[in-house]
Amino acid sequence: MPTLSETISILEKTIPILSILALSPTLAYGEGLPEPKAVVLSAPSKMKAHALRLKPGQDLTEELARWAKEHKIKAASIVSAVGSFKKINIRYANQPKMTAQEGFFEIVSLVGTFNEDSMHLHASVSNTKGETFGGHLASGNIIYTTAEIVIAELEDVTFTREQDPDSGYKELVVKLRK
């Protein structure tokens, strides 16, 4: 199986337009042509893995935020997570407000990006009937038995969030560290 660096090298040779877009939309689309609204940017980075275990009663997002601040995390992503909640606080797709529920919920998936200043996490959970649903997480997701979380810290990039005029939200911006 190829390493991440080898995979990136293969992709850059197979799809050279990605590298050109990252360098200059003008080079890719030609002088005088309109630039695309979105520019693909690839930022390879070394990764350091961290494993955390949260205990009953802890708030998942608050503990991740505390850990990120404590360790001065500039860019991280959730790799894997298993566990359970006794309270959830999720914003479903295209809804203006969070929905809080109490009960017993298995963590089916947890994904997202974060740093010491911000996070964007989504989760899927299943209830005691096996019904699965998910959405955007905020604070208020309380651990029932455990949450075992593996995190990839990206050492060569920084994540920031900047207002995006198209979505109306602060969206992820990836920058190489200086």
pLDDT at 17: 36
pLDDT at 85 (0 to 100): 98
- Count the Cβ atoms, other than its own, within 10 Å of residue 159: 22
At residue 44, the pLDDT reads: 81
Asked if residues 159 and 115 have their Cβ atoms less than 8 Å apart, the reply is: yes
Q: What is residue 155's three-state secondary structure?
A: coil
Integer Cα distance of 64 and 176 in angstroms = 23
The structure tokens listed for 154 are 């990206």
Q: What is the model's pLDDT at position 6?
A: 59
- Domain 47-154 belongs to what architecture? 2-Layer Sandwich (3.30)
CATH 3.30.1330.80 in the chain is located at 47-154
pLDDT at 2: 63
Say how far apart CA 53 and CA 136 lie, in whole Å: 21
Instruction: State pLDDT tens for residues 47-88.
Output: 999 999 999 999 999 999 999 999 999 999 999 999 999 999
**Low-confidence stretches of the chain (pLDDT beneath 50):** 11-30, 36
pTM: 0.76
SS3 assignment, position 16: helix
CA separation for the pair 157, 175 (Å, rounded): 5
C-alpha torsion angle, residues 10, 13, 17, 21 (rounded to 10): 70
pLDDT of residue 14: 42
